[in-house]
């Protein structure tokens, strides 16, 4: 059974990271929301020094082995840490040098040699970034409809296509030793079965960032459009087998990336929601309004009922998120739980931040406070790593036992 008590190590780490959010992130939060395409160099260098040498994510096979000797908690620890960092500032958290979604893809589908080759360099040296390129201009949530191609030519793969909305794509593609994991098809006629993921190192000829988006929220993080034109990479940069298998096995391997990343996105949503909830509670108490948790339901004000409801939504999302991470740490399949956590957290944070703004009225809408920023930052958690609708479909399919063709 899952234990809802966090270990002493995670608690100590959470306290330290909360201080980082409070002392390093909050003071520059508004500044880099306004200066979207400028990088907080001093902050990034500090965070790289703090995080250099730490492990990233979880290896499912290693988790299975570790489960026999004792509990592993790397994914749960990551979720707790990300919640605290996002409480500080979600955009700044996403800009911190780390393997990111690209690293998660390598862990999910790469060989032991590939994990060592692509992830080990993040343990020392200058700050480095990883990114994942999936979404294309003509297809969003339907990853199976992508048109980017990978064609074998001698000892190389040649990539051609355009990717949009790549989180940290600019830094991963242009900084030394960074990398981008690109989803492409090796056989369009094979449909989903032909989709594979490939690692493209920074500065590879043929890979070019042509645009950095202006966004509503998480503005401290870059979101890039990347074009691949006859981009050549080594044959062994493909994650998993190059063979087109029946039963969508290759596509399933690529999609397994989301089993690891969706709980992390959910954790970020929790941090934003908690920031808004904490602020609203403090503001209301200063105004003489204190939430009466022990009062009879019939005596509560509408504000108190709303506050308790969104607070319980956030806590429910947290428990789902920890459950999904806990399963990953034990090498268990968590496809259903990861999508449940992501769907619940995306809904919860959107509602929590909206209600927090409403609680404070015109002041909550004002740019004098960070509340309106948190409301803008919140919405992306309901969109990326699979939209709310996609994750709800996945949950329904898993519970009812339907395929994507039977329930779409």
For residue 7, how far is the Cα from the chain centroid? 23
Distance CA 98, CA 91 (A): 14
Distance CA 81, CA 329 (A): 15
Q: Are 380 and 135 in contact (CB under 8 A)?
A: no
Q: Which residues contact 170 (CB under 8 A, 6 or more apart)?
A: 209, 212, 222, 224
| Catalytic member of 83, 84, 372, 385 | 385
Structure tokens at 234: 């080594």
Hey, which residues does 153 pair with through a beta bridge?
156
Would you list the DSSP string of 316-350? HHHHHHHHHHHHHHTT---HHHHHHHHHHHHHHHH
Distance CA 331, CA 22 (A): 34
Q: Which residues contact 64 (CB under 8 A, 6 or more apart)?
A: 330, 331
Structure tokens at 165: 């909305």
Nearest to 85 by CA among 215, 269, 350, 300: 269
The reply to whether 38 belongs to the active site is no
DSSP 3: -
Structure tokens at 65: 């082995």
Distance CA 106, CA 113 (A): 10
Residue 80: Cβ within 10 Å count? 25
Return the active site residues. 385
């Amino acid at each position: 059974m899952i234990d809802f008590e966090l270990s002493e190590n995670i608690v100590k780490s959470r306290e330290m990271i909360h201080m980082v959010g409070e002392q390093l992130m909050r003071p520059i939060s508004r500044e880099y929301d306004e200066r979207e395409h400028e990088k907080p160099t001093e902050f990034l260098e500090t965070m790289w020094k703090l995080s250099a040498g730490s492990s990233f994510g979880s290896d499912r096979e290693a988790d299975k082995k570790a489960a026999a000797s004792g509990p592993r908690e790397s994914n749960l620890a990551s979720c707790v840490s990300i919640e605290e960092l996002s409480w500080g500032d979600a955009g700044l958290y996403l800009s911190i040098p780390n393997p990111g979604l690209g690293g998660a893809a390598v862990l999910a589908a790469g060989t032991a040699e590939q994990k060592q080759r692509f992830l080990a360099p993040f343990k020392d040296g200058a700050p480095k970034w990883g990114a994942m390129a999936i979404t294309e201009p003509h297809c969003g949530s339907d990853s199976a409809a992508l048109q980017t191609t990978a064609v074998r030519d001698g000892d190389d793969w040649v990539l051609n296509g355009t990717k949009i909305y790549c989180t940290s794509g600019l830094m991963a593609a242009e900084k030394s030793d960074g990398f981008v994991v690109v989803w492409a098809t090796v056989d369009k006629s094979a449909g989903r079965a032909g989709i594979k993921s490939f690692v493209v190192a920074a500065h590879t000829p043929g890979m070019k960032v042509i645009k950095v988006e202006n966004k509503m929220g998480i503005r401290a993080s870059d979101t890039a459009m990347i074009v691949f034109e006859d981009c050549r990479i080594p044959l062994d940069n493909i994650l998993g087998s190059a063979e087109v298998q029946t039963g969508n096995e290759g596509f399933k391997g690529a999609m397994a990336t989301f089993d690891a990343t969706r709980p992390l996105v959910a954790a970020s949503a929790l941090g934003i929601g908690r920031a808004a909830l904490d602020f609203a509670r403090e503001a209301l108490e200063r105004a003489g309004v204190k939430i009466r948790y022990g009062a009879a339901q019939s005596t509560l004000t509408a504000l108190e009922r709303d506050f308790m409801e969104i607070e319980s939504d956030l806590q429910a999302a947290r428990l789902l998120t920890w459950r999904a991470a806990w399963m990953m740490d034990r090498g268990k399949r968590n496809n259903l739980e990861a999508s449940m956590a992501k769907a619940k957290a995306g809904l919860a944070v959107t509602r929590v931040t909206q209600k927090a703004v409403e609680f404070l009225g015109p002041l909550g809408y004002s740019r004098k406070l960070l509340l309106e920023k948190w409301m803008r930052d919140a919405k992306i958690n309901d969109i990326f790593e699979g939209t709310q609708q996609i994750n709800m479909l996945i949950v329904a399919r898993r519970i009812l036992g339907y395929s994507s063709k039977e329930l779409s």
